[in-house]
Structure 1
């Protein structure tokens, strides 16, 4: 056998070993023994997750703002607010990047961020940074959301009205535009997952009923007890060691405003969005 081929084979084997060794070093291992009330609740959570996994449309709202001025109102189909979203996916897989576990984990992923709903806590991933939130600190709300859809509506969404791409001050079609297409107004569900420590996610769902179903089961998380136990083996240098400093620059996940805050979470709402959250809490 030529020496070049021998070196290539040995080098390839070494690279494979280094890859799997690095993967193992960076993986957090969680083994859960869930029973009693916590077992029933977590089973319900996994069972209800089909509301998200089977929805045709799932998005995370990453920026929103009010429409100000008559001109902006008229050229934005009569919308009262504009939002920027990114596509999201939901899963109940036990195979999660950098996390090995013996149970199915309900999760939501949008871009480089994820929420993992573990039996005893919520695990938040922002890139390679991880933080956790106790369910007792979590605030989950839902509401119906009328949304002007400029693209193709998801098949499982319900149309409740219509508008036009360009409207007049009374909300009717602006006759000055020849190609003024009709836009459907869909009824979506909006799920808000937030905490006082800074977590703030808004999930938009094509099935309006999904937001209520998921919010109800997550809000029913049992209080901490011996019913849930886990053994954790964090790696050195892996996500088990990652954290967000006490004083850091953070960007509001809702409107994008950057501010300095003392948080121990991956995202943080600005004062305006936090005030909106408090109003939602009072009305819930």
Structure 2
């Protein structure tokens, strides 16, 4: 029983990506056994909207109604709830092979962990048997019984170490081979992302709902819900790679991990999606917000308005205690696919947002061109 875990251990293939001007090739396991994932990709979409008037408003004057916390009026198109579909529905067809490899690794790790629990339990029982044998004296009288228990304990400890080593090695090795120009583009994107993570505030926008400006007397035509999140450099533990991976926290769903050729949406060990970068619709822009709260130190004030306004922008004098509100500039990025990815983020630092949007867009455009060559 102690050695049955060997039946569960499989040779885990690695994933090799080759990025060259001739296209992108992907091989799983032995080099040369290429499985090409080249399909005509979605072209980069960038836009500078800049006309949306957003408002993060928490009014306290008795004559002006309070808004629910986290709801922020905006002047732009509305999207209702902003969240991605279930991860089981999002994986790109061209990424199914890579997903199967990762699933194999995850299932093996879970099986080994279950085996580890069983062996540890058996070890505990063996130790109890040894103590009981001496307490009841038969371990002293019958030396062979005592020696058999000692041998069981030794073997079980040995197996525990071996299983732990196997668990540590249950990962996929992701090897990426870049041509110099392509690697430079990727590194520029990573550097821009690192700067973006330094934004004092990062928000995940989770919903956007319209409101009647005639009734509210507000310059904003919609309410949004957004939650503060973090970004960083972090790879999934079951994928080892020498390249830095971009991590985007998701407030209402699976986190995003951006690798050189795909994005992983990760909910749990066995629930995740893999999306080819060529399928991503990507936008970066800026948003004008009415900010009544604390203004982040890296945010610029670009204008002012009133809590209650007339159509011409002048203050509505019917409201007692009407007051001016600063308009600030926040950065915005959004990612979506036809298969169900739908995420939007706001950033207190617009310049960092613009730089990341530009470099991510440039890298994605380059990747799109390569996948079309290889299709």
Normalised by the length of structure 2, the TM-score is 0.48
Q: Structure 2 residue aligned with 1:41, among 175, 185, 188?
A: 185
Ranges in structure 1 where 5+ consecutive residues have no aligned partner: 227-284
Do the aligned partners of 1:188 and 1:208 also contact (CA within 8 Å) in 2? yes
Whole-angstrom CA distance in 1 between matches of 2:195 and 2:285:
15
What is the deviation of 1:173? 4.9
Aligned 1:125-274 pairs, distance under 5 A:
125-126=266-267, 129-168=271-310, 170-171=312-313, 172-174=315-317, 176-178=319-321, 180-221=322-363, 222-223=366-367
1:196-238: CA deviations, max 9, x gaps? 2221211111122233222222222333769xxxxxxxxxxxx
| Residue matched to 2:254 | 113
C-alpha RMSD over aligned residues: 3.6
Q: In proportion to residue count, which structure has more helix?
A: 2
Change (3 A) 1:113 1:27: farther
Larger of the two Rg values belongs to structure: 2
Do the aligned partners of 2:213 and 2:220 also contact (CA within 8 Å) in 1? no
Do the aligned partners of 2:205 and 2:346 also contact (CA within 8 Å) in 1? yes
What is the deviation of 1:153? 1.2
| Residue matched to 2:67 | none
What is the deviation of 1:105? 0.8
Ranges in structure 2 where 5+ consecutive residues have no aligned partner: 1-123, 129-152
Q: In proportion to residue count, which structure has more strand?
A: 1
What is the deviation of 1:139? 1.6
Whole-angstrom CA distance in 2 between matches of 1:133 and 1:47:
22
What is the deviation of 1:110? 2.7
Secondary structure of the residue aligned to 1:42 is: helix
Do the aligned partners of 2:213 and 2:221 also contact (CA within 8 Å) in 1? no
Whole-angstrom CA distance in 2 between matches of 1:151 and 1:65:
21
Whole-angstrom CA distance in 2 between matches of 1:159 and 1:122:
34
| Residue matched to 1:65 | 209
Do the aligned partners of 1:86 and 1:110 also contact (CA within 8 Å) in 2? no
- Higher relative contact order (Cα pairs below 8 Å, separated by 6+ residues): 2
| Residue matched to 1:230 | none
Secondary structure of the residue aligned to 1:151 is: coil
Normalised by the length of structure 1, the TM-score is 0.62
Whole-angstrom CA distance in 2 between matches of 1:185 and 1:119:
37
What is the deviation of 1:175? 5.2
Comparing 209-218 with 167-176, which one deviates more in the overlay?
A: 167-176
Aligned 1:25-104 pairs, distance under 5 A:
28-36=171-179, 37-72=181-216, 74=217, 77-94=218-235, 96=236, 99-104=239-244
Do the aligned partners of 1:34 and 1:119 also contact (CA within 8 Å) in 2? no
